[in-house]
Structure 1
């Protein structure tokens, strides 16, 4: 006797699966976006940056030099908010503005040596926190999770916001 091949999921089953993904995303964000957790990890890294400032610094280090508009687009933030946060990073000597060689009227954001070091420190502290939190996970599970999260991020960025 042949086993019937399953067909596409019903609308109900698909809707429930998407609701489960939504709940899982909310739980993930709640566990990693807490101000107290971030303050503690930032202090371990030797700094006092807010979560938003750390996020911008990490993007400038990873993808810079960047124009402010490109940084705002990359991070999905409003340009005025991004500008205020970048000003804080500049005052802390973690980022500097340099003239854009392609357009003398524009500036590029470049991490300073201190900014690169702070970003490395933050990544190391977060890596330790993840190791402590996910220490019982297998390498295969971690690789699968990383792949699925990258795919999720790409697919969500590829769709229009509601």
Structure 2
């Protein structure tokens, strides 16, 4: 907990045109890893365009660690099949959180991130101020597969018992 920066909520919205791994469909789920943390969505049966809308929460200790995402096809009698992977950097997102913004109008774009060879973005992604929160929507193009994209939303979770003082965490008692 020494290097704890905060919590990142990842809403895994949906998959688009995922690879087929069974006869004519797949039973996809996603595993998200950051450092030693590992989270998983539920399995959506027989659907290459699944709607998860699952919310997963990571404890962020190092903003320099990438978040890695792997999509699998759930199998009953054999090992699950790989359906692609992606990763993304949260450093720009954490930097936006640390700007201490509070009086911006809803919908203000803080930062734009363009797709490049260094990221898995399928399209431009915006870090925005929305209803008092820093949020980011992103569409990731899967690698190591023939097709597929995954849509995610990021949101920083404020912890009222913690505040940042000169780069160190300080715990405040609440009454």
TM-score, normalised to structure 1, is 0.22
Structure with max Cα Rg: 1
TM-score between both structures, scaled by the size of structure 2: 0.21
When you count helix as a share of all residues, which structure comes out higher? 1
